[in-house]
Protein backbone atom coordinates (compact mmCIF):
# COMPACT_ATOMS: atom_id res chain seq x y z
CA UNK A 1 0.00 0.00 0.00
CA UNK A 2 1.18 3.52 -0.77
CA UNK A 3 0.60 6.14 1.90
CA UNK A 4 0.09 9.62 0.54
CA UNK A 5 0.49 12.43 3.04
CA UNK A 6 -1.91 15.11 1.97
CA UNK A 7 -2.24 18.59 3.41
CA UNK A 8 -5.51 19.66 5.02
CA UNK A 9 -8.39 20.30 2.69
CA UNK A 10 -11.91 21.55 3.20
CA UNK A 11 -14.95 19.97 1.67
CA UNK A 12 -17.37 22.56 0.56
CA UNK A 13 -20.66 23.35 -0.96
CA UNK A 14 -20.83 25.14 -4.26
CA UNK A 15 -22.69 28.09 -5.79
CA UNK A 16 -24.64 28.07 -8.97
CA UNK A 17 -27.36 29.92 -10.77
CA UNK A 18 -30.42 27.80 -11.31
CA UNK A 19 -33.68 28.26 -13.15
CA UNK A 20 -35.30 31.47 -12.03
CA UNK A 21 -32.10 32.90 -10.56
CA UNK A 22 -31.40 36.44 -11.65
CA UNK A 23 -27.81 35.71 -12.60
CA UNK A 24 -24.69 37.81 -12.54
CA UNK A 25 -25.13 41.54 -12.22
CA UNK A 26 -23.41 43.73 -14.77
CA UNK A 27 -23.70 47.03 -12.87
CA UNK A 28 -20.16 48.36 -12.44
CA UNK A 29 -18.79 49.65 -9.17
CA UNK A 30 -19.46 53.36 -9.00
CA UNK A 31 -16.28 55.10 -7.98
CA UNK A 32 -13.85 55.34 -5.14
CA UNK A 33 -13.30 51.72 -4.10
CA UNK A 34 -9.68 51.04 -3.22
CA UNK A 35 -7.65 48.12 -1.96
CA UNK A 36 -8.05 44.40 -2.60
CA UNK A 37 -11.47 42.98 -3.35
CA UNK A 38 -13.33 40.95 -0.74
CA UNK A 39 -16.41 38.74 -0.93
CA UNK A 40 -19.56 39.54 1.04
CA UNK A 41 -22.89 37.91 1.76
CA UNK A 42 -25.66 40.50 1.60
CA UNK A 43 -29.05 39.39 2.89
CA UNK A 44 -32.32 41.08 2.05
CA UNK A 45 -35.31 40.64 4.38
CA UNK A 46 -36.62 37.12 3.81
CA UNK A 47 -39.77 37.01 1.75
CA UNK A 48 -39.18 40.42 0.22
CA UNK A 49 -37.52 41.67 -2.94
CA UNK A 50 -33.77 41.94 -3.41
CA UNK A 51 -34.04 44.94 -5.73
CA UNK A 52 -33.26 47.53 -3.06
CA UNK A 53 -30.35 45.42 -1.82
CA UNK A 54 -28.96 45.21 -5.37
CA UNK A 55 -29.20 48.99 -5.67
CA UNK A 56 -27.46 49.52 -2.33
CA UNK A 57 -24.65 47.16 -3.38
CA UNK A 58 -24.03 49.22 -6.52
CA UNK A 59 -24.11 52.48 -4.56
CA UNK A 60 -21.55 51.07 -2.11
CA UNK A 61 -19.10 50.22 -4.91
CA UNK A 62 -19.95 46.53 -5.03
CA UNK A 63 -20.86 44.13 -7.81
CA UNK A 64 -23.18 41.16 -7.56
CA UNK A 65 -21.60 37.86 -8.54
CA UNK A 66 -24.60 35.66 -7.78
CA UNK A 67 -28.20 36.64 -7.10
CA UNK A 68 -30.20 34.07 -5.14
CA UNK A 69 -33.35 36.07 -4.95
CA UNK A 70 -35.38 32.95 -4.11
CA UNK A 71 -33.83 33.16 -0.62
CA UNK A 72 -32.87 36.85 -0.55
CA UNK A 73 -29.09 36.29 -0.63
CA UNK A 74 -26.54 38.08 -2.79
CA UNK A 75 -22.88 37.10 -3.23
CA UNK A 76 -20.97 40.33 -3.74
CA UNK A 77 -17.42 41.49 -4.45
CA UNK A 78 -16.14 44.90 -3.47
CA UNK A 79 -12.83 46.72 -2.94
CA UNK A 80 -14.53 49.36 -0.78
CA UNK A 81 -13.00 49.04 2.71
CA UNK A 82 -16.19 50.55 4.17
CA UNK A 83 -18.55 48.33 2.21
CA UNK A 84 -20.24 46.78 5.26
CA UNK A 85 -21.15 50.22 6.59
CA UNK A 86 -21.99 51.79 3.22
CA UNK A 87 -24.34 49.01 2.07
CA UNK A 88 -26.42 49.03 5.25
CA UNK A 89 -29.89 50.50 5.07
CA UNK A 90 -33.41 49.84 3.85
CA UNK A 91 -33.57 46.59 1.89
CA UNK A 92 -30.50 45.07 3.56
CA UNK A 93 -31.10 42.90 6.62
CA UNK A 94 -27.51 41.89 7.28
CA UNK A 95 -24.11 41.73 5.62
CA UNK A 96 -20.82 39.98 6.38
CA UNK A 97 -17.42 39.74 4.75
CA UNK A 98 -16.39 36.13 4.21
CA UNK A 99 -12.68 36.99 4.28
CA UNK A 100 -11.08 34.77 6.90
CA UNK A 101 -14.13 32.50 7.04
CA UNK A 102 -12.66 29.77 4.87
CA UNK A 103 -12.87 26.45 6.70
CA UNK A 104 -10.28 23.69 6.34
CA UNK A 105 -11.10 20.02 6.73
CA UNK A 106 -8.17 17.91 7.86
CA UNK A 107 -8.52 15.20 5.28
CA UNK A 108 -5.81 13.01 6.75
CA UNK A 109 -3.94 10.39 4.76
CA UNK A 110 -5.07 8.36 1.80
CA UNK A 111 -3.52 4.89 1.72
CA UNK A 112 -3.66 3.69 -1.87
CA UNK A 113 -3.58 0.10 -3.04
CA UNK A 114 -0.47 -0.67 -5.08
CA UNK A 115 -0.64 -2.18 -8.54
CA UNK A 116 0.57 -5.50 -7.08
CA UNK A 117 -2.22 -5.49 -4.50
CA UNK A 118 -4.79 -4.72 -7.18
CA UNK A 119 -3.47 -7.56 -9.33
CA UNK A 120 -3.74 -10.00 -6.42
CA UNK A 121 -7.34 -9.08 -5.60
CA UNK A 122 -9.62 -12.04 -6.12
CA UNK A 123 -13.16 -12.01 -7.43
CA UNK A 124 -16.23 -12.76 -5.36
CA UNK A 125 -19.94 -13.36 -6.01
CA UNK A 126 -20.57 -9.67 -6.66
CA UNK A 127 -18.00 -9.63 -9.46
CA UNK A 128 -16.12 -6.71 -7.90
CA UNK A 129 -12.49 -7.73 -7.22
CA UNK A 130 -12.11 -5.58 -4.09
CA UNK A 131 -15.52 -6.20 -2.56
CA UNK A 132 -14.06 -8.77 -0.17
CA UNK A 133 -12.15 -5.95 1.53
CA UNK A 134 -15.24 -3.78 1.89
CA UNK A 135 -16.26 -4.92 5.38
CA UNK A 136 -18.51 -1.88 5.55
CA UNK A 137 -20.96 -3.17 2.93
CA UNK A 138 -22.09 -6.39 4.68
CA UNK A 139 -22.28 -4.40 7.93
CA UNK A 140 -25.18 -2.39 6.50
CA UNK A 141 -26.73 -5.31 4.55
CA UNK A 142 -25.78 -4.13 1.07
CA UNK A 143 -25.49 -7.58 -0.58
CA UNK A 144 -29.09 -8.48 0.35
CA UNK A 145 -30.29 -5.06 -0.76
CA UNK A 146 -28.66 -5.47 -4.18
CA UNK A 147 -30.62 -8.70 -4.69
CA UNK A 148 -33.70 -6.44 -4.63
CA UNK A 149 -32.38 -3.31 -6.35
CA UNK A 150 -29.10 -1.53 -6.96
CA UNK A 151 -30.89 1.79 -7.32
CA UNK A 152 -32.50 3.88 -10.02
CA UNK A 153 -30.70 6.16 -12.46
CA UNK A 154 -33.53 8.64 -11.87
CA UNK A 155 -32.07 9.33 -8.42
CA UNK A 156 -29.22 11.86 -8.54
CA UNK A 157 -27.06 12.51 -5.49
CA UNK A 158 -25.19 15.79 -5.25
CA UNK A 159 -21.70 15.24 -3.83
CA UNK A 160 -20.84 18.64 -2.38
CA UNK A 161 -17.14 18.10 -2.06
CA UNK A 162 -13.77 18.49 -3.80
CA UNK A 163 -14.85 17.22 -7.21
CA UNK A 164 -15.15 13.74 -8.75
CA UNK A 165 -12.68 12.20 -11.18
CA UNK A 166 -14.70 11.79 -14.38
CA UNK A 167 -12.10 9.37 -15.79
CA UNK A 168 -12.19 6.90 -12.90
CA UNK A 169 -13.18 3.44 -14.24
CA UNK A 170 -15.54 2.86 -11.29
CA UNK A 171 -17.23 6.28 -11.66
CA UNK A 172 -17.14 7.40 -15.28
CA UNK A 173 -20.53 5.81 -16.03
CA UNK A 174 -22.02 7.02 -12.76
CA UNK A 175 -21.65 10.79 -13.07
CA UNK A 176 -24.52 13.05 -14.07
CA UNK A 177 -22.33 15.37 -16.10
CA UNK A 178 -25.14 17.72 -17.08
CA UNK A 179 -25.90 18.31 -13.40
CA UNK A 180 -22.30 18.81 -12.25
CA UNK A 181 -20.57 22.12 -11.63
CA UNK A 182 -17.81 23.89 -9.76
CA UNK A 183 -18.99 26.70 -7.53
CA UNK A 184 -15.65 27.83 -6.20
CA UNK A 185 -15.78 31.56 -5.63
CA UNK A 186 -19.55 31.56 -5.59
CA UNK A 187 -20.14 31.30 -9.32
CA UNK A 188 -21.04 28.11 -11.20
CA UNK A 189 -18.75 26.70 -13.87
CA UNK A 190 -20.17 23.64 -15.61
CA UNK A 191 -17.12 22.72 -17.68
CA UNK A 192 -15.93 19.20 -16.93
CA UNK A 193 -12.41 20.31 -16.03
CA UNK A 194 -13.81 22.70 -13.43
CA UNK A 195 -15.64 20.05 -11.40
CA UNK A 196 -12.87 17.44 -11.57
CA UNK A 197 -10.50 17.22 -8.57
CA UNK A 198 -7.34 19.31 -8.45
CA UNK A 199 -5.78 19.16 -5.00
CA UNK A 200 -7.98 16.67 -3.12
CA UNK A 201 -9.42 13.22 -3.82
CA UNK A 202 -11.91 13.43 -0.94
CA UNK A 203 -14.93 13.85 -3.22
CA UNK A 204 -13.84 10.96 -5.44
CA UNK A 205 -13.62 8.67 -2.41
CA UNK A 206 -17.06 9.77 -1.17
CA UNK A 207 -18.62 9.29 -4.60
CA UNK A 208 -17.30 5.72 -4.82
CA UNK A 209 -18.90 4.76 -1.53
CA UNK A 210 -22.24 6.05 -2.77
CA UNK A 211 -22.30 4.74 -6.32
CA UNK A 212 -19.19 2.92 -7.61
CA UNK A 213 -20.34 0.78 -10.54
CA UNK A 214 -20.94 -2.96 -10.59
CA UNK A 215 -18.67 -3.48 -13.57
CA UNK A 216 -16.16 -6.13 -12.56
CA UNK A 217 -13.62 -3.45 -11.64
CA UNK A 218 -12.57 -2.25 -8.20
CA UNK A 219 -15.20 -1.71 -5.52
CA UNK A 220 -18.98 -1.62 -5.25
CA UNK A 221 -20.99 1.38 -4.11
CA UNK A 222 -23.95 1.23 -1.74
CA UNK A 223 -26.27 2.29 -4.58
CA UNK A 224 -24.47 1.56 -7.90
CA UNK A 225 -27.64 2.07 -9.91
CA UNK A 226 -28.03 5.74 -8.96
CA UNK A 227 -26.04 8.65 -10.35
CA UNK A 228 -23.85 11.22 -8.64
CA UNK A 229 -23.34 14.87 -9.56
CA UNK A 230 -20.06 16.57 -8.73
CA UNK A 231 -20.65 19.90 -7.03
CA UNK A 232 -17.12 21.09 -6.41
CA UNK A 233 -16.82 23.21 -3.34
CA UNK A 234 -13.15 23.13 -2.33
CA UNK A 235 -10.70 25.65 -3.74
CA UNK A 236 -7.12 24.74 -4.61
CA UNK A 237 -5.88 25.85 -1.20
CA UNK A 238 -8.33 23.49 0.46
CA UNK A 239 -10.88 26.00 1.76
CA UNK A 240 -14.66 26.14 1.76
CA UNK A 241 -16.23 29.55 2.06
CA UNK A 242 -19.83 30.29 3.08
CA UNK A 243 -20.75 31.65 -0.34
CA UNK A 244 -19.74 28.29 -1.82
CA UNK A 245 -21.98 26.47 0.65
CA UNK A 246 -25.00 28.61 -0.21
CA UNK A 247 -24.35 28.05 -3.87
CA UNK A 248 -24.06 24.28 -3.53
CA UNK A 249 -27.42 23.88 -1.86
CA UNK A 250 -29.05 26.17 -4.41
CA UNK A 251 -27.45 24.31 -7.32
CA UNK A 252 -28.77 21.01 -6.02
CA UNK A 253 -32.22 22.48 -5.48
CA UNK A 254 -32.45 23.87 -9.00
CA UNK A 255 -30.90 20.93 -10.85
CA UNK A 256 -33.03 17.94 -9.99
CA UNK A 257 -31.07 16.35 -7.15
CA UNK A 258 -32.88 14.38 -4.44
CA UNK A 259 -30.01 14.09 -1.98
CA UNK A 260 -26.83 15.96 -1.10
CA UNK A 261 -23.88 14.52 0.79
CA UNK A 262 -21.98 17.03 2.93
CA UNK A 263 -18.76 15.97 4.68
CA UNK A 264 -17.53 19.31 6.05
CA UNK A 265 -18.44 22.15 8.33
CA UNK A 266 -18.91 25.75 7.31
CA UNK A 267 -16.94 28.48 9.07
CA UNK A 268 -13.43 27.94 10.48
CA UNK A 269 -15.02 27.93 13.93
CA UNK A 270 -16.41 24.43 14.28
CA UNK A 271 -19.47 25.93 15.95
CA UNK A 272 -21.26 28.77 14.22
CA UNK A 273 -22.78 31.07 16.85
CA UNK A 274 -26.01 32.68 15.72
CA UNK A 275 -25.66 35.36 18.40
CA UNK A 276 -22.29 36.50 17.01
CA UNK A 277 -22.59 39.52 14.71
CA UNK A 278 -19.98 38.17 12.27
CA UNK A 279 -21.28 34.62 12.17
CA UNK A 280 -25.03 35.26 12.19
CA UNK A 281 -25.33 36.29 8.50
CA UNK A 282 -23.51 33.06 7.56
CA UNK A 283 -25.99 30.99 9.58
CA UNK A 284 -28.92 32.88 8.05
CA UNK A 285 -27.72 32.49 4.46
CA UNK A 286 -26.84 28.80 4.76
CA UNK A 287 -30.04 27.97 6.62
CA UNK A 288 -32.13 29.74 3.98
CA UNK A 289 -30.39 27.74 1.25
CA UNK A 290 -30.87 24.42 3.04
CA UNK A 291 -34.52 25.18 3.73
CA UNK A 292 -35.06 26.13 0.09
CA UNK A 293 -33.48 22.89 -1.13
CA UNK A 294 -35.64 20.90 1.27
CA UNK A 295 -38.68 22.60 -0.20
CA UNK A 296 -37.51 21.39 -3.61
CA UNK A 297 -37.43 17.80 -2.33
CA UNK A 298 -33.71 17.55 -1.51
CA UNK A 299 -32.63 15.71 1.65
CA UNK A 300 -29.38 17.00 3.16
CA UNK A 301 -27.10 14.39 4.75
CA UNK A 302 -24.15 15.67 6.80
CA UNK A 303 -21.28 14.20 8.76
CA UNK A 304 -21.20 14.76 12.53
CA UNK A 305 -17.49 15.64 12.64
CA UNK A 306 -14.24 14.08 13.80
CA UNK A 307 -13.60 15.89 17.09
CA UNK A 308 -15.08 13.32 19.53
CA UNK A 309 -17.24 16.26 20.60
CA UNK A 310 -20.50 16.00 22.52
CA UNK A 311 -22.63 18.22 20.31
CA UNK A 312 -25.49 18.11 22.82
CA UNK A 313 -23.42 19.64 25.62
CA UNK A 314 -21.41 22.51 24.25
CA UNK A 315 -19.63 24.79 26.71
CA UNK A 316 -16.27 25.57 25.12
CA UNK A 317 -14.77 25.42 21.63
CA UNK A 318 -11.04 24.82 21.95
CA UNK A 319 -10.05 23.52 18.51
CA UNK A 320 -11.03 26.49 16.38
CA UNK A 321 -10.49 28.34 14.17
CA UNK A 322 -9.08 25.67 11.89
CA UNK A 323 -7.53 28.24 9.54
CA UNK A 324 -5.29 29.75 12.19
CA UNK A 325 -4.16 29.40 15.80
CA UNK A 326 -6.83 27.61 17.85
CA UNK A 327 -8.33 29.56 20.73
CA UNK A 328 -10.56 28.67 23.64
CA UNK A 329 -13.92 30.43 23.70
CA UNK A 330 -17.01 29.94 25.78
CA UNK A 331 -20.11 28.98 23.80
CA UNK A 332 -23.79 28.34 24.42
CA UNK A 333 -26.87 26.81 22.82
CA UNK A 334 -26.81 29.39 20.04
CA UNK A 335 -23.65 27.77 18.67
CA UNK A 336 -24.15 24.90 16.21
CA UNK A 337 -22.19 22.87 13.68
CA UNK A 338 -23.16 23.79 10.13
CA UNK A 339 -24.63 22.03 8.24
CA UNK A 340 -24.92 19.04 10.59
CA UNK A 341 -27.11 20.81 13.17
CA UNK A 342 -29.30 22.77 10.81
CA UNK A 343 -33.00 21.81 11.02
CA UNK A 344 -34.03 18.96 8.73
CA UNK A 345 -30.49 17.68 8.12
CA UNK A 346 -29.70 13.97 8.68
CA UNK A 347 -26.61 13.92 10.92
CA UNK A 348 -24.41 10.82 10.70
CA UNK A 349 -21.89 9.49 13.25
CA UNK A 350 -19.28 6.82 12.50
CA UNK A 351 -18.48 3.28 13.61
CA UNK A 352 -15.50 1.04 12.93
CA UNK A 353 -15.34 -2.63 11.93
CA UNK A 354 -16.46 -3.83 15.38
CA UNK A 355 -19.65 -1.75 15.18
CA UNK A 356 -18.56 0.49 18.06
CA UNK A 357 -18.38 4.28 17.82
CA UNK A 358 -15.20 5.33 16.02
CA UNK A 359 -12.87 6.93 18.54
CA UNK A 360 -12.87 10.24 16.65
CA UNK A 361 -16.59 10.51 15.87
CA UNK A 362 -18.51 13.39 17.37
CA UNK A 363 -21.80 12.46 19.01
CA UNK A 364 -24.70 13.88 20.98
CA UNK A 365 -28.15 12.87 22.19
CA UNK A 366 -30.75 14.57 20.03
CA UNK A 367 -28.12 15.58 17.46
CA UNK A 368 -26.97 12.33 15.82
CA UNK A 369 -29.77 10.80 13.75
CA UNK A 370 -28.11 7.59 12.49
CA UNK A 371 -24.72 5.97 12.32
CA UNK A 372 -22.82 4.18 9.53
CA UNK A 373 -19.36 2.72 8.84
CA UNK A 374 -16.67 5.41 8.80
CA UNK A 375 -13.71 3.24 9.66
CA UNK A 376 -11.51 3.02 12.74
CA UNK A 377 -7.96 1.85 12.18
CA UNK A 378 -7.16 2.00 15.91
CA UNK A 379 -10.10 0.18 17.49
CA UNK A 380 -8.67 -3.35 17.41
CA UNK A 381 -5.37 -2.36 19.08
CA UNK A 382 -6.86 0.10 21.58
CA UNK A 383 -5.01 2.83 19.72
CA UNK A 384 -1.52 1.36 19.95
CA UNK A 385 -1.04 0.79 16.21
CA UNK A 386 -3.01 1.48 13.07
CA UNK A 387 -4.66 -1.24 10.96
CA UNK A 388 -5.24 0.22 7.50
CA UNK A 389 -7.80 -2.34 6.36
CA UNK A 390 -10.15 -1.22 9.16
CA UNK A 391 -10.63 2.08 7.31
CA UNK A 392 -13.01 2.47 4.33
CA UNK A 393 -11.92 1.26 0.87
CA UNK A 394 -13.20 3.32 -2.05
CA UNK A 395 -12.18 5.12 -5.24
CA UNK A 396 -9.23 7.54 -5.20
CA UNK A 397 -7.50 10.06 -7.43
CA UNK A 398 -3.81 10.76 -6.93
CA UNK A 399 -3.51 14.52 -7.32
CA UNK A 400 0.26 14.31 -7.77
CA UNK A 401 0.43 11.68 -10.51
CA UNK A 402 -3.09 12.51 -11.80
CA UNK A 403 -4.02 8.82 -11.81
CA UNK A 404 -7.08 6.95 -10.61
CA UNK A 405 -6.98 4.17 -8.05
CA UNK A 406 -8.51 2.69 -4.93
CA UNK A 407 -7.55 3.29 -1.33
CA UNK A 408 -8.44 3.75 2.32
CA UNK A 409 -9.72 6.72 4.29
CA UNK A 410 -11.57 7.06 7.56
CA UNK A 411 -13.77 9.68 9.20
CA UNK A 412 -17.38 10.74 9.49
CA UNK A 413 -16.73 11.96 5.94
CA UNK A 414 -16.87 8.26 5.07
CA UNK A 415 -19.90 7.38 7.23
CA UNK A 416 -22.03 10.12 5.68
CA UNK A 417 -21.93 8.68 2.14
CA UNK A 418 -22.94 5.24 3.44
CA UNK A 419 -26.11 6.80 4.87
CA UNK A 420 -26.59 8.82 1.68
CA UNK A 421 -26.27 5.65 -0.41
CA UNK A 422 -28.86 3.87 1.72
CA UNK A 423 -31.18 6.87 1.36
CA UNK A 424 -30.66 6.72 -2.43
CA UNK A 425 -31.72 3.05 -2.42
CA UNK A 426 -34.79 3.98 -0.36
CA UNK A 427 -35.75 6.66 -2.90
CA UNK A 428 -35.24 4.17 -5.72
CA UNK A 429 -37.63 1.71 -4.08
CA UNK A 430 -40.08 4.39 -2.89
CA UNK A 431 -39.76 7.28 -5.37
CA UNK A 432 -42.69 9.29 -4.05
CA UNK A 433 -41.10 10.13 -0.70
CA UNK A 434 -40.62 13.74 0.35
CA UNK A 435 -37.38 14.80 2.01
CA UNK A 436 -39.04 14.66 5.42
CA UNK A 437 -40.54 11.23 4.81
CA UNK A 438 -37.20 9.91 3.59
CA UNK A 439 -35.43 11.19 6.69
CA UNK A 440 -37.98 9.52 8.97
CA UNK A 441 -37.83 6.28 6.95
CA UNK A 442 -34.04 6.17 7.18
CA UNK A 443 -34.28 6.35 10.97
CA UNK A 444 -37.23 3.96 11.26
CA UNK A 445 -35.41 1.24 9.30
CA UNK A 446 -32.10 1.65 11.14
CA UNK A 447 -30.92 -1.12 13.46
CA UNK A 448 -30.78 0.11 17.05
CA UNK A 449 -27.35 0.09 18.71
CA UNK A 450 -27.18 0.16 22.52
CA UNK A 451 -24.97 2.52 24.49
CA UNK A 452 -21.77 1.01 25.90
CA UNK A 453 -21.78 0.91 29.69
CA UNK A 454 -19.88 3.54 31.63
CA UNK A 455 -17.20 5.78 30.16
CA UNK A 456 -16.29 4.73 26.62
CA UNK A 457 -12.50 4.61 26.21
CA UNK A 458 -11.73 2.86 22.90
CA UNK A 459 -8.10 3.95 22.38
CA UNK A 460 -6.37 4.18 25.78
CA UNK A 461 -3.03 3.25 24.16
CA UNK A 462 -3.16 5.91 21.44
CA UNK A 463 0.12 7.88 21.46
CA UNK A 464 -1.62 11.23 21.82
CA UNK A 465 -2.40 13.75 24.52
CA UNK A 466 -5.96 14.11 23.21
CA UNK A 467 -8.80 12.71 25.31
CA UNK A 468 -10.93 10.24 23.36
CA UNK A 469 -13.16 9.15 26.22
CA UNK A 470 -16.90 9.73 25.81
CA UNK A 471 -20.16 8.97 27.60
CA UNK A 472 -23.22 7.76 25.71
CA UNK A 473 -26.65 8.95 26.82
CA UNK A 474 -30.06 7.57 25.88
CA UNK A 475 -31.73 4.24 25.30
CA UNK A 476 -32.81 2.68 22.01
CA UNK A 477 -32.10 6.09 20.49
CA UNK A 478 -28.92 7.51 21.92
CA UNK A 479 -26.12 10.00 21.51
CA UNK A 480 -23.57 7.65 19.93
CA UNK A 481 -25.74 5.99 17.28
CA UNK A 482 -28.97 7.98 17.04
CA UNK A 483 -31.75 5.71 15.81
CA UNK A 484 -29.12 3.09 14.93
CA UNK A 485 -27.09 1.70 12.05
CA UNK A 486 -28.50 2.43 8.60
CA UNK A 487 -29.63 -0.74 6.82
CA UNK A 488 -29.74 -1.03 3.03
CA UNK A 489 -31.94 -4.12 2.93
CA UNK A 490 -34.53 -2.70 5.32
CA UNK A 491 -35.17 0.28 3.06
CA UNK A 492 -35.82 -1.80 -0.08
CA UNK A 493 -37.43 -5.04 1.09
pLDDT tens digit sequence for 333-388: 788 888 999 999 999 999 999 999 999 999 999 999 999 999 999 999 999 999 99
Which residues fall within 8 angstroms of residue 453, CB to CB, at 6 or more apart? none
Question: Strand, coil or helix: what is 411?
Answer: coil
Question: How far is it, in rounded angstroms, from Cα 136 to Cα 238?
Answer: 28
Please state the pTM of the whole predicted model: 0.90
Each residue's pLDDT tens digit, 236-280? 888 888 899 999 999 999 999 999 999 987 866 667 777 788 788
Catalytic residues: 161, 202, 413
Each residue's pLDDT tens digit, 82-132? 999 999 999 999 999 988 777 665 566 789 998 888 888 765 656 899 999
User: Which long-range CB contacts under 8 A does 180-183 form with residues at least 24 apart?
Assistant: 180/229, 180/230, 180/231, 181/14, 181/16, 181/230, 181/231, 181/232, 181/251, 182/14, 182/231, 182/232, 183/13, 183/14, 183/15, 183/16, 183/231, 183/232, 183/233, 183/244, 183/247, 183/248, 183/251
Q: Which of 294, 272, 438 is nearest to 341 (CA)?
A: 272
Each residue's pLDDT tens digit, 19-38? 233 333 333 334 444 678 99
Q: Which domains does the chain show, CATH number per domain?
A: 2-8+110-471 (3.40.50.200)
Q: Which of 323, 327, 344 is nearest to 259 (CA)?
A: 344
Amino acid sequence: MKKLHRKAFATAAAVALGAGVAGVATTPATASATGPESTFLVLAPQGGTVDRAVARVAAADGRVLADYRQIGVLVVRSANPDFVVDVAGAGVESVASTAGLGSVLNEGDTVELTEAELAEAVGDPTGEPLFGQQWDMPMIDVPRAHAVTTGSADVVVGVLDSGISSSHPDLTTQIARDQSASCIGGVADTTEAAWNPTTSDHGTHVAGTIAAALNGVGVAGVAPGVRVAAVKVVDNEGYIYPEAAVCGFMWAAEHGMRLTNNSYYIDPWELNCRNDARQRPVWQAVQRAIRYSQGKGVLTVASAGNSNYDLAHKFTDSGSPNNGTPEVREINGACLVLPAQAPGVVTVAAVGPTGQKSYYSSYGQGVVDVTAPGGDSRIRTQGRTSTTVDAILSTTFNTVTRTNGWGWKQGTSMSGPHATGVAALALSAHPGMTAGQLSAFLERTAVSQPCPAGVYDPVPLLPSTADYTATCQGGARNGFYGAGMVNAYNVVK
